[in-house]
Every structure is written in C-alpha cells, then in structure tokens.
Amino acid sequence: MTPKTIYPNTLLFDEGGVKFFLLIGTERAILIDSGMQTHNARELAGEHTSLPISLINTHADGDHLGSVGEFESFYMHPAECANFYRSGRTGKVDPVWDGDVIDLGGRPLRIIHTPGHTPGSVAILDMNARRIFTGDPIQDGRIFMFGPMRDLNAYVHSVDRLISLSGEFDVIYPSHASETVDPKGLPKFKEAAEKILAKEAKGRTESLWGNEIVAYDFGFTTFLCDK
C-alpha cells in the first residue's frame, strides 16, 4: 500500500474506503487507526519512519482495528472498552481522556471526546498544523447510527463541541468517503441530526447486513439509523 503525504510529516493510507493516518514528530510517531483489511499497519508505517510508533484508536468499530494486534498497547478512550472487547479482540488500553495532549516531539495532539457514533469516539487535533482527525462522525459518506452503542442525542452534543472548537482547525480528515471536510459545514451535521430526532426528516427503509434501517439522505451526508 502506497500512502499519500497530505501535509508535512503526515501520511494517509487508504484501503479503498477505510483510511488511517501516520503522524510523525521529532521523537516518535503515531498511527491514527490501523485499517480493516490491513494487518501490518505498524510494519507499513515503519517504512516511512525509524521512530517508535504507537497507535490511537478513534473508536473500536472493526473497520478501524485491522492491525491492533501488532501493538502491545494502544491509546483509546475507556468509554470504548465495551465496544472493543465485545469484538473478541484483546489488548491493553492506554487510556486517553478529553483534553489530554500526546506530544510526538514538537507536535502536540489534543484528544477531543466525541461520543455518539460510539461512546468512546475521539477526534485528534494536530494543534500546530490546525488539522483534525475525526474518525467516522463527520464525513460526506454514510454515518452509521444504527445498532447498539449509537446515540444520536450524544452525537448532536459532540458536533456542537466541534463547532465551538472550529476556530482551532482549518481542515477535517475523516476516516471514510472524501479526503477532507470543510469545518464550515459542521452546523449542517448538527442540524440534520436534530431534524431526525425531531422526526422532521424523511427517510427510506433499507436492509443492511440483515438489519432493517432508515437512511436519511441530506445530500452532503447520509445518516443510517435504527428503524
């Protein structure tokens, strides 16, 4: 897999639908997620840096954990433990909390807790570069909000939090769909979720992986919710 440099010392790996990222500081590097079909993300990252490499999971849905077994431990919000261990995977969690800063050496990364898509979802703010990695909640593809552990009310609060912090970043990097999202579009995500909660949005019933769901297509994104 050949990664793409998206800005200095930052690489994007794309499996063709699922993205993960390598951020390199002066003292160490970190992978943000590790793919779905990829099981050697640490090895791949090692082709681009000789620094120690750690891992942070934006959340614990299976399509983000492909290479988690390469790491003795990994950063993750503790609220995501139930989601992680119910998958049958094992591993030691190095807990991160809202507001924590991970310094890669001249490159501080701030953790922002964004529950909703999952309880322990986090965004990672590359503070000096004014870039943010949000995982799944903000994208122009399909946002999964059906099944256990999803919470649309929490999602609204999390997007509102990102809106309040949007003066600190210029570009959003999601894990799916288009490479970037403009932070100016964040209010649309909040408004769309609020319309679904208020039963003001029109959806269509679909079947996905044996689940009966309702898809709400807003043009800029689609929410997939419980029927």
**Domains in the chain: boundaries:** 4-197
pLDDT score recorded for residue 149: 93
**Residue indicated by tokens 């701030």:** 110
C-alpha 120, offset from chain centre: 10
Question: Mean per-residue pLDDT for 7-23?
Answer: 97
pTM summary value? 0.97
- pLDDT value at residue 55: 98
Candidates 53, 33, 35; CA nearest to 43 is: 53
Rounded to an integer, what distance in angstroms lies between the CA atom of residue 182 and that of residue 213?
Answer: 28
Q: Band the pLDDT of 50: cuts 50, 70, 90.
A: very high
| pLDDT at residue number 114 | 98
Number of Cβ within a 10 Å radius of residue 125: 22
Q: How far apart are CA 183 and CA 127, in angstroms?
A: 15
Q: Which CATH superfamily, name and number, covers 4-197?
A: Ribonuclease Z/Hydroxyacylglutathione hydrolase-like (3.60.15.10)
CB count in 10 Å sphere of residue 37 = 12
Number of H helices, E strands in the chain: 4, 16
Hey, how many other C-beta atoms are within 10 angstroms of the C-beta on 103? 13
Closest CA to 122 of 105, 107, 110, 108: 110
The answer to whether residue 87 scores a pLDDT higher than 90 is: no
Q: How far apart are CA 121 and CA 82, in angstroms?
A: 12
pLDDT band at 99 (very low <50, low <70, confident <90, very high): very high
Q: What digits encode the pLDDT tens for the residues 136-171? A: 999 999 999 999 999 999 999 999 999 999 999 999
**Percent of the chain's residues with pLDDT above 90:** 95
Contact 24, 48 (CB under 8 A): yes
How crowded is residue 178: how many other Cβ atoms within 10 Å of its Cβ? 11
In order of 45, 73, 170, 172, 216, the CA distances from 146 in angstroms are 33, 29, 30, 24, 12
